[in-house]
Amino acid sequence: MLLVACGGSTAEALVVDDSGIGIDTAPDATIDTAPVDSGIDSTPIDTAVDTAPDVFVYDGAPPPPPSYDEGAKDRAACKFGAGDLTTKTVGSKIVHGDDLPFKHVIVLMLENRSFDNVFSTLPSLGVKDVDVPPSDASNPDPSAGGAKVTRFHETRSCIVDVPHDWDPVHLQYGDGKLDGFVASANPGGARAMGYEDSTDLPLLHFLAQNYAISDRHFSGTLGPTWPNRFFFYGATAYGRTKTPDTPPLGKNQLMKEMEAHGRDWKIYRDGITSFAIVYGPSYNGSSMSSFDDDVKNDKLPALVLLDPSFSGSGENDMHPPSNIQLGEAYVTHVLDTLASNEKAWKSSVLFITFDEHGGFYDHVPPPAACIPDGDKPPSYAYDRMGFRVPMIAMGPWVKPKYVSHFVTDHASLARFIENRFDLEAMTARDANAWPMLDLFDFDHVAFDKPVPSWPHGAPSAASVEWCAKNPAGTGRP
C-alpha cells in the first residue's frame, strides 16, 4: 500500500465534508520500489541562506487524511480508548506490525526548547513550508508598563533557566493569548523571547533542511518535564503536574507493553541515570558505550530509548543553563554511531525531539486534546496539548525535505511505536493520536545510506569561554 501524505503538498481528488476534514479519494499509485534521489542539500549551512521575503502562513486548516485513514473523524471526536489497535483507530488498510520494513524504533528526547526557539529561522535556509513567527512577534513585559519585548537572536550559549512549571506554563498560554512568556520569567523575562539559528545549532538545522520535520508537533500537556515525558511513556501524566513527581505503581507504559508482546527494548543513557528510572530501578538503562557496541554488533533491540546527560559538568540535554551546543555534540555521537553500520541504518527509524518547550516563546496556541483517562491533575486538566517542540524523523523511508502539518504530540510518537509492534493503546490520548505515518513513504527508499555530510555539532571555543567567564545570561544580551 502506498502511504500518501498531503501536508506540505497539493493533494488531488479531495472531497471535504461538512466536518472540515478532507478525504483523499485518489486511487493508490503504482508502487515503485526503486531508490529515489534523496535531494540532499549539501550546501554548507552558513551559505545556504535564502533572502526571499516569502514566508509560509498556516491557514489553520488541517491537512486532508491519507486515503487509508478511515478513522480520522472518530479520532477527532475522541471516540477510541485504551486497548484499541491502530487497525481500529486508523483502519484496516493501515500498514502495521511486521509488514513495515524496519525493525528498530529509536527515540532521542532532549530537553526544554520550543519550536520557535530552535527552528524559527528555517525559511532563510530554504525551508519555506513551515510555520514560524513574524519578525516582530513580541510579548508584553508587565514590569516595564507592558512594553513589548520583541524576539531576538540569543547569542549567549548559557542562560538562566526559564520557568516552565505547571502554573507558569498556564500563564504563558493565557487562555490562548500567549502573552505570559515574559511575565512568567521576570525578572529578566526577556530571555524567554530569544531564539537560536543555524550558527548556533548547525546540525539540527541541517537535519531539518534535508530530512522530515513537523511544525505541528506539540508536547503532551501545559506543564514541565516529568508530566510531559510521562505522556510519551504512558500517554498520560497519571494526575501528576510537577517535576519531580513519581508515577503511581502498576500503571501501564511502553516498556511493559513491549514485554507483554514479546518485544525487546533497551534504554541507553549518557549520564548517571535514565529518566525512566522513575518507573523502577530496572529501568535505569545502560551506558552509551553499550549503544555503540550494540550498533556495531547488530544487537539493537526493537525499541531504543536514548537519554542525554541530565546533570553535572557533562550535561548535554540542552536544558538551560547548560551550554546548548553540548546537545548537538550528543546528537552527533548518536548519528555517527548509527551511520557506522549500514545494516543498522537500513533497519531503523530515528526520532529526535524535545520533552517540552522549557518556557521559551512559541507563537502557535496548543490545540485541544483528548483527556487520556480518569487520572485528573489537581488544577486545570489534560484536555490540551503543550507548546510546540522540534521533531525530526530520520531513516531510509523518511520523505526528504518534508514538513508535516498533522497535529501530533508525544502520545503520537508512542502510537507510532504501537503501530509498528501491534501494541494496544494505553489511554484515550494515544488511541486517538495520529501515528505520524505521513512523515514516511514506505514504498520508496529515499535515504539508502545516511547523509555523510552532516555538520559535527560541538561547542565552539567562544561559547565555552563565554559560559566559563560569565554568569548565565538573563534578560536580553
Nearest to 271 by CA among 326, 233, 321: 326
What is the per-residue pLDDT across 121-140, written as a single tens digit (0 to 9) for each?
999 999 989 999 999 999 99
**Rounded CA gap, 395 and 5, in Å?**
17
What is the per-residue pLDDT across 301-349, written as a single tens digit (0 to 9) for each?
999 999 999 999 899 999 999 999 999 999 999 999 999 999 999 999 9
**Rounded CA gap, 215 and 122, in Å?**
11
All residues at 6 or more sequence positions from 263 whose CB lies less than 8 Å from its CB, including other chains: 301, 302, 303, 421
Which alpha helices (H) appear in 37-165, and where do they start and end? 72-76, 86-89, 115-119
Asked whether the beta carbons of 55 and 126 are under 8 A apart, the reply is no
Does the structure show a pLDDT above 50 at 16?
no
Q: Looking at residue 55, what is its pLDDT?
A: 55
Q: Looking at residue 198, what is its pLDDT?
A: 96
Does the structure show a pLDDT above 80 at 298?
yes
Task: Quickly list DSSP for 250-308.
Answer: T---HHHHHHHTT--EEEEESSS--GGGGG-GGGS-EEHHHHHHHHHTT---SEEEEE-
Question: What Å distances lie between residue 297 and 134, 167, 179, 331, 334, CA to CA?
Answer: 48, 47, 51, 21, 15
Compare 23 and 182 and report the one with higher pLDDT.
Answer: 182
DSSP state at residue 104: E
Q: Looking at residue 224, what is its pLDDT?
A: 97
Q: How many CB atoms lie within 10 A of CB 388?
A: 27
With vertex at residue 32, the alpha carbon angle to CA 31 and CA 38, rounded to the nearest 5 degrees, is 130
Mean pLDDT of 80-87: 98
All residues at 6 or more sequence positions from 473 whose CB lies less than 8 Å from its CB, including other chains: 154, 156, 158, 159, 160, 191
Does the structure show a pLDDT above 50 at 432?
yes
**Rounded CA gap, 172 and 224, in Å?**
12
Which pLDDT band holds residue 456 (cuts at 50, 70, 90)?
Answer: confident
Task: Quickly list DSSP for 409-439.
Answer: -HHHHHHHHHHHHTPPPSSHHHHTS---GGG
All residues at 6 or more sequence positions from 52 whose CB lies less than 8 Å from its CB, including other chains: none
Q: Looking at residue 61, what is its pLDDT?
A: 76
In sequence order, the β-bridge partners of residue 391 are 353
Asked whether the beta carbons of 26 and 13 are under 8 A apart, the reply is yes
Compare 417 and 460 and report the one with higher pLDDT.
Answer: 417
Nearest to 393 by CA among 426, 436, 424: 436
Look up residue 191 and give its three cell numbers. Answer: 530571555
14-469 in CATH: which number? 3.40.720.10
Which pLDDT band holds residue 60 (cuts at 50, 70, 90)?
Answer: low
What is the per-residue pLDDT across 356-368, written as a single tens digit (0 to 9) for each?
999 999 999 999 9
Which alpha helices (H) appear in 70-165, and where do they start and end? 72-76, 86-89, 115-119
Task: Quickly list DSSP for 437-460.
Answer: GGGB-TTS-S-SS--TT-------
Look up residue 84 and give its three cell numbers. Answer: 484499541
Whole-model pTM: value is 0.88
All residues at 6 or more sequence positions from 89 whose CB lies less than 8 Å from its CB, including other chains: 71, 74, 75, 80, 425, 431, 432
**Which range scores top for mean pLDDT: 36-50, 257-271, 437-451?**
257-271
**Rounded CA gap, 188 and 375, in Å?**
36
Which pLDDT band holds residue 56 (cuts at 50, 70, 90)?
Answer: low
What is the per-residue pLDDT across 243-273, written as a single tens digit (0 to 9) for each?
998 888 889 999 999 999 999 999 999 999 9
User: In one letter, which amino acid is 40?
Assistant: I
Quick one: what percent of the chain has pLDDT higher than 70? 87
Q: Looking at residue 457, what is its pLDDT?
A: 83
Does the structure show a pLDDT above 50 at 274?
yes
DSSP state at residue 106: E
Which pLDDT band holds residue 454 (cuts at 50, 70, 90)?
Answer: confident
Q: What is the mean pLDDT of the chain?
A: 89
* Domain edges within the chain: 14-469
Which pLDDT band holds residue 57 (cuts at 50, 70, 90)?
Answer: low
**Rounded CA gap, 340 and 343, in Å?**
9
Does the structure show a pLDDT above 60 at 24?
no
Helix (H, G, I), strand (E, B) or coil at 183: helix
Task: Quickly list DSSP for 337-373.
Answer: HHHT-HHHHHTEEEEEEES--TT---SSPPPB----S
